[in-house]
């Protein structure tokens, strides 16, 4: 998506440790008008998929997932990273390995909010090694629901996650796919 690639070139910053910092519009400050355009694009891509629910993971997926859900007119559910006092009863659980934070954590979704019969679109801000996306897919399958696909804002296509997940027959639509990223700049697929 040209609009997004231009934005990444203009506002993104490359940091040490393979970090693409897009926190001026995506994951700290959120350029909501801009993100709505991404939401509409996800709707265009998945218009025929009879989506019944959007699923994401806290925290930085929540904004783009909410804005996207309004175009599908379906509820959004976000997987929580720890078991809090506010969640009772039965949950689906899965493990995520975070490379940014260098730790493994559990995510949970209450069984009330994912059901057999749901057709789920998973939305997330980044796809790199695919650990979060794999964990979300696992939650959907545990619920007996169907993964209609994934909508990713930025995919680091030089990492293994996208290939691995598409290789399982899952549709993954990434609005920007980075082929190469270094001090000289960013190259898209």
Footprint of a second copy (CB under 8 A) = 15, 17, 19, 21, 23-25, 27-33, 35-36, 58-59, 62-63, 65-67, 69-70, 73-78, 80-81, 84-88, 100-101, 109-110, 112-113
Supply the minimum distance, in Å, between the C-beta of residue 41 and a second copy: 16
CB-CB contact of 48 with 171 (8 Å)? no
In this complex, which beta carbon is closest to a second copy, that of residue 1 or of residue 30? 30
Supply the minimum distance, in Å, between the C-beta of residue 179 and a second copy: 21
> And the tokens for 183?
């001090």
CB-CB contact of 127 with 149 (8 Å)? no
In this complex, which beta carbon is closest to a second copy, that of residue 59 or of residue 166? 59
CB-CB contact of 68 with 54 (8 Å)? yes
> And the tokens for 62?
């929540």
Supply the minimum distance, in Å, between the C-beta of residue 86 and a second copy: 6
Q: Rounded distance, CA 14 to CA 12, Å?
A: 7
């Amino acid at each position: 998506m040209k609009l997004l690639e231009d934005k990444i070139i203009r506002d993104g910053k490359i940091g040490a440790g393979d970090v693409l910092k897009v926190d001026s519009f995506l994951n700290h400050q959120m350029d909501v008008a801009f993100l709505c355009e991404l939401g509409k694009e996800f709707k265009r891509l998945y218009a025929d998929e009879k989506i019944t629910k959007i699923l994401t993971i806290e925290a930085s997926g929540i904004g783009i997932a909410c804005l996207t859900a309004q175009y599908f007119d379906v509820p959004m559910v976000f997987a929580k990273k720890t078991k809090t006092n506010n969640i009772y009863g039965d949950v689906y659980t899965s493990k995520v390995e975070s490379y940014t934070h260098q730790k493994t954590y559990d995510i949970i979704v209450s069984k009330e909010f994912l059901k057999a019969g749901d057709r789920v679109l998973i939305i997330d801000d980044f796809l790199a090694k695919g650990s979060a996306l794999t964990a979300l897919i696992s939650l959907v399958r545990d619920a007996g629901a169907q993964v209609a696909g994934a909508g990713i804002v930025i995919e680091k296509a030089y990492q293994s996650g996208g290939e691995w997940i598409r290789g399982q027959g899952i549709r993954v639509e990434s609005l920007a796919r980075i082929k190469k990223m270094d001090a000289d700049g960013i190259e898209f697929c």
